[in-house]
Amino acid sequence: MPSWGEHPPLVPPLDFSFLPAPAPRPPGPPRPCASTTTAWGGWGGLPPALERLLVLPTQLRWLDLSFNRLTTIDPVLTTLRALQSLQLHGNGIGSLAEVDKLGVLLRLRRLTLHGNPMEEQRGYRSYVLSLLPHLTSLDFTGVTGQDRQDAATARAQRGKKKGGAPGRGTGCQAPAPR
């Protein structure tokens, strides 16, 4: 711990992008982790990887999980309450309802989801911003006053319908998250 007046050492962000989860291995003794390349083993491997790489995993502020063929947003991310930047672009997340899980990340300011199938759903940006009104950037684009108005409208409409995410251009409601 640095003494008073000293700055803590800078720590690089944790970047697991372009590291698709390998096929599950049979249980056995843990292998030493020499780099982030061997650390990421899918959602089940994220907590142990963070514990091996970081002194205080719950204080992680920036995480890049882009281009990993993810199809869901695992609740393990909800334990990382200090996250300020989360990159999930270029995956296979199809349901906007998956974004609901991120609502507990109150410090999250920057989020990327573009390049996921959910992006093609009508009202995508407004839906995400209605759930995460504290974002200042979505998909590498700053959040504007018009975005905030659209999000407020989406939030009000969702409250009236009491449903989940908007459907893919049909006006239907997506199934509620499990």
Beta-strand relationship, 62-64 and 14-15: parallel
pLDDT exceeds cutoff 90 at 12: no
Residue 7's pLDDT is 52
pLDDT band at 150; cut points 50, 70, 90: very high
- We find that the CATH architecture of domain 14-20+35-161 is Alpha-Beta Horseshoe (3.80)
Question: 115 in the Ramachandran plot: left (φ > 0), alpha (ψ -120 to 50) or beta?
Answer: left
Q: How far is residue 121's CA from residue 117's CA, in Å, rounded to a whole number?
A: 8
DSSP 8-state assignment for residue 4:
T
The domain limits of the chain are: 14-20+35-161
Residue 11's pLDDT is 53
Q: What is the pLDDT of residues 80-91, one digit of tens each?
A: 999 999 999 999
Q: What is the pLDDT of residues 121-139, one digit of tens each?
A: 999 999 999 999 999 999 9
Residue 138's pLDDT is 97
Helix 124-131 / helix 145-161 crossing angle, nearest 10 deg: 80
The pTM of the whole model exceeds 0.75: no
